[in-house]
Amino acid sequence: MDMQVPKKKLGLKERYTLMTRDLAWDTTYQPKEKVYPYADYEGIKIHDWDKWEDPFRLTMDAYWKYQAEKERKLYAIIDAYSQSNGHLGVTDARYLNAIKIFLTAVTPLEYMAHRGFAHVGRAFPGAGARVACQMQAIDEMRHAQTQIHSLSNYNKYYNGFHDAPHMFDRVWYLSVPKSFFDDAITAGPFEFIVSIGFSFEYVLTNLLFVPFVSGAAYNGDMGTMTFGFSAQSDEARHMTLGLECIKFILEQDPANLPIVQRWIDKWCWRGVRLLSIVAMMMDYMLPKRVMSWKEAWEIYFEENGGALFKDLARYGIKMPACAEQIRQEKEHLSHQVWSAFYNYSGATDFHTWMPTEEEMQWLSQKYPDTFDKYYRPRFEFWREQQEKGNRFYNKTLPMLCQTCQIPMLFTEPGDPTKICYRERSYKGNKYHFCSDHCRHIFDNEPEKYVQAWLPVHQIYQGNCFPEGTDPTAPGFDPLAAVLEYYRLNVGHDNGEFEGSEDHRNFEAWRGMAKRND
């Protein structure tokens, strides 16, 4: 009788190799260049794909096990929050406007990231990179779904949560996040990895899913807090994978360094411009604040990012050229963006307001060198006019930056009293920019950015009216037609929070809940 030899238990590395690298195969009846046409598209040279290392060595069976456990906990909390009328426990109805922005501006980006990683996973010849991209694509789809499910509870009671995908493709201020991801997913696969792994995951989601989601918890929104912290464990893995990919590219060939440096410079600036709306949400839209935008930026980029660039310095990577301007702008960013949205809130799905005196005192403490000098006088004047019944709405359309698509609201570096304008002529047309960095990005790829779908241009061309609209009809109101195209029903709210339907509903329902208790 033969002796049975116990099977040797595979180590983690061997098991990971069998379930990832050994699932790959070489091409036979088609050349590899035709199967992976984008591998050489950007000039990146990869000599050995087997050098790619996944620091987590996660296999698909382990992935589903971990994610299923997170799903059970997440949906248990969401269901309990919904059944106990948790929406009445948030600090103030003003807070709801911040998560309207989250649903319409951030959640669609998660879905676009899913599409991008699915494409990149198909484009990379290396099996290890393909597996990592596959798991991140599933992560991003899960994030979009859990965010929609968590916030759907608010759609039962408040306006502005009703049609996020439709608005994402049409509403003027949502062209900013949309253009960011349109830029990323129309790049080559290596640039996409840098743009998302560095800019979206490291720069943007760090500042969104930690300080802002902490603010959600502080304001009693357990639904947003739960999906945010559930996603953050994935984001930690995404950041690590993105940075490992950057290091892998740099280690493969010295010629890759200038290409990667240009991408890091570009996407750091594009990420900061996208984050301007998060700065506004943190400083102005949380009734109970955790920290200021300036403090969050100093912790999560200047300190953590500084350590990252010290690590990348051994590969030759330098701090992005825009870092000094960003350091100056952190004192002004949230105030300037809030001022712009206060002007244009009649064409958004959320409300704006002037800070109370107590809130202005908080802003003065957090921004001692700038708020009282440059912004308090403006806000006090607007509040005075609002109390007299002269609440200001800007009904003209602003000039937009050709690159980031944000209205020209940012000021000159070193002079916060002067709006920054830059321009460039290309093939007989003139293009406008909000900064030297946006103009520099345009100069590197003008053929790409001249195709930008700018909402203001489209409105003036008559492309943002409902089908069948007759602009020549007597009494035609172009703003009302554009809002109908956006599916925004202004009604009697007129963009103002005080007295809005959301405000009245929240106070009435909370009053009923207190009486019932």
148-173: pLDDT as tens digits? 999 998 998 888 898 899 999 999 99
pLDDT exceeds cutoff 90 at 6: no
- Rounded-to-integer distance, Cα 489 and Cα 478, Å: 14
CA angle 359, 362, 365 (to 5 degrees): 155
- Rounded-to-integer distance, Cα 471 and Cα 462, Å: 8
Question: What percent of the chain stands above pLDDT 90?
Answer: 56
pLDDT at residue 366 in the model: 97
Q: How confident is the model at residue 14 (pLDDT cuts 50, 70, 90)?
A: confident
| Mean pLDDT, residues 429-458 taken together | 96
Q: What is the residue-averaged pLDDT of the chain? A: 89
pLDDT exceeds cutoff 60 at 218: yes
The token pair at 204 is 């943007």
303-346: pLDDT as tens digits? 887 888 888 999 999 999 899 999 999 999 999 999 999 999 88
34-81: pLDDT as tens digits? 999 999 899 999 999 888 877 777 778 888 888 898 889 889 988 998
| Mean pLDDT, residues 392-416 taken together | 93
Q: How confident is the model at residue 445 (pLDDT cuts 50, 70, 90)?
A: very high
pLDDT exceeds cutoff 90 at 510: no
What secondary structure letter does DSSP report for 420? -
pLDDT at residue 230 in the model: 80
Which of helix, strand or coil describes residue 140?
A: helix
- Rounded-to-integer distance, Cα 319 and Cα 229, Å: 29
* Strands (E) located in 243-344: none
pLDDT exceeds cutoff 60 at 494: no
Q: When comparing pLDDT for 396 and 411, which is higher?
A: 411
pLDDT at residue 495 in the model: 64
User: What does the buried/exposed string (b/e) look like for 2-21 if buried means 16 or more CB atoms within 10 Å of the residue's CB?
Assistant: eeeeeeeeeeeeeebbebbe
| Mean pLDDT, residues 395-401 taken together | 91
- Rounded-to-integer distance, Cα 404 and Cα 175, Å: 9
- Rounded-to-integer distance, Cα 293 and Cα 300, Å: 10
| Mean pLDDT, residues 255-265 taken together | 96
The token pair at 355 is 């800070």
Tell me the CA distances in angstroms from 152 to 25, 106, 157, 162, 226, one per residue in order: 44, 15, 10, 9, 14
- Rounded-to-integer distance, Cα 505 and Cα 514, Å: 14
| Mean pLDDT, residues 118-131 taken together | 90
pLDDT exceeds cutoff 60 at 347: yes
pLDDT at residue 513 in the model: 62
| Mean pLDDT, residues 1-5 taken together | 65
Tell me the CA distances in angstroms from 365 to 137, 291, 294, 493, one per residue in order: 42, 11, 12, 32
- Rounded-to-integer distance, Cα 288 and Cα 290, Å: 7
